[in-house]
Amino acid sequence: MNIFHIGYVLEVHMCGSINQAAKNLYISQSSLSSAIRKLEGELGYNIFARKNNNVTLTPEGVVFLESAKIIQSEISRIQKIPFMFLNQKNLSFVCNYSSLFMQSLIAYKKNSPDDNVQDFFKETGLINARKDVVEQRYRLGICYCFSRRLMHHTEVSLKYNLATEVLHSNIPVMAILSKRNPLAEKGSLTIDELSAHKLICFEDFEYDDWLGILGIPPTGSVLNIFDRGGMAEAVSKDNYIALMINDPLQTEQMKDCVSLPIAGFEESISVFLLRPRNYMLNKREKGFVRHIKQKLQDTQKSRL
């Protein structure tokens, strides 16, 4: 099997047309058609069903495409291996949404300045963070999930040759709400109270990773949002309740809001480092990870 033919299949599927795919690949339509038919002959089944000028996946093709995407990602990763071992001095982190992570980065750069490098930092959800590390857009990820789901994400990461390292555990999930909300006077909130209210969560977390564990039904009134600024605005101006990892820095920035624990909810969150298994952290990356671990430890101690 020619590995280039796998890329041909992905391009044809994306375009829905062999003619357009051939143009994108800078090869003739006849050469592309011949390559795909040769691949199908080797496999013993058709990947595409052809009708007029359009192509669609066969049932076998749907399954083939899932594996083809993984293979292409691995090929890309293999090709980038030499760059992973260059003498990189900068920080390259993708992190899940957290003011604590962002402020930790700023504090670390202030205490350990290096004017000769450009650092990279991105906030996103768990799924996209893993994808960014797999595809080498960022070298390292700092992610969080409910501890009950940690083994699941460790196993998924291993499939992509990624290693996980727990940085801190037993972090509670908190409800953030406006001081004008009548529920703000309570010492804690129950799942039933949350389920009856408008909720806001960060997107790019699977239902089983977040709302499912919290016991919020899929039919609940939930707004999924992609950034912390939008979350803060929805909570302070439209009376939403945010469900997020315990992050005192975030609550401090939202001066008209309060942070309340969830009564009777015993699940906790773990923060973990995500990295390619064969990648050795550089000096500044190691320093930043130590800094994050200490910050997480200090923050959770302060709530006790």
What is the tens place of the pLDDT at every residue in 95-109?
998 889 999 999 999
pLDDT at 291 over 90: yes
CB 145 within 8 A of CB 207: no
pTM of the model: 0.69
| pLDDT value at residue 226 | 81
Indicate the pLDDT class of residue 171, thresholds 50, 70 and 90: very high
Amino acid letter for position 112: S
Q: Output the CA angle 288-140-226, nearest 5 degrees.
A: 100
pLDDT at 76 over 90: no
**Sign of torsion over alpha carbons 290, 291, 297, 298:** positive
For the record, the structure tokens of 303 come out as 């709530």
For 212-222, write each residue's pLDDT tens digit.
888 888 776 78
What the chain holds in terms of domains, given with CATH numbers, is 3-79 (1.10.10.10), 83-170+269-302 (3.40.190.10), 173-261 (3.40.190.10)
* Distance (Å, whole) CA 281 – CA 208: 31
pLDDT at 288 over 60: yes
C-alpha 172: how far from chain center: 20
Name the packing angle between helices 3-15 and 59-79 (round to 10°).
120
pLDDT at 86 over 80: no
C-alpha 271: how far from chain center: 13
Indicate the DSSP class of residue 77.
H
For the record, the structure tokens of 274 come out as 């995500």
pLDDT at 302 over 70: no
Window from 15-29, 140-154, 165-179 with minimum mean pLDDT: 15-29
Amino acid letter for position 248: P
| pLDDT (mean) for 9-37 | 88
pLDDT at 82 over 80: no
Residue 80, helix vs strand vs coil: coil
Indicate the pLDDT class of residue 150, thresholds 50, 70 and 90: very high
| pLDDT (mean) for 81-85 | 56
| pLDDT (mean) for 133-137 | 87
* Distance (Å, whole) CA 62 – CA 126: 25
